[in-house]
Amino acid sequence: MEKKIKNGIIAVWKPKGPTSFDMIYKLRGLTGIKRIGHAGTLDPLARGVLVVGIGREAT
């Protein structure tokens, strides 16, 4: 059974290369959820945890 996250905060690993917005764009495509945003920008050369808010309550 598959559940879809409607609201919440998740941590996403951002590898070196893509921008923070690239990661959000990919998540939007994978989930079909348009209301997704990140809590802070990581440099494209940086890798690390990107805090992502999903849904109206978290963005």
> In the annotation, is 22 catalytic?
no
Residue of 8, 31, 43, 49 marked active site:
43
Higher pLDDT, 1 or 52: 52
pLDDT at 1: 47
pLDDT at 3: 66
CA atoms within 13 A on the CB side of 46: 9
For the residues 35-44, what does the mean pLDDT come to? 94
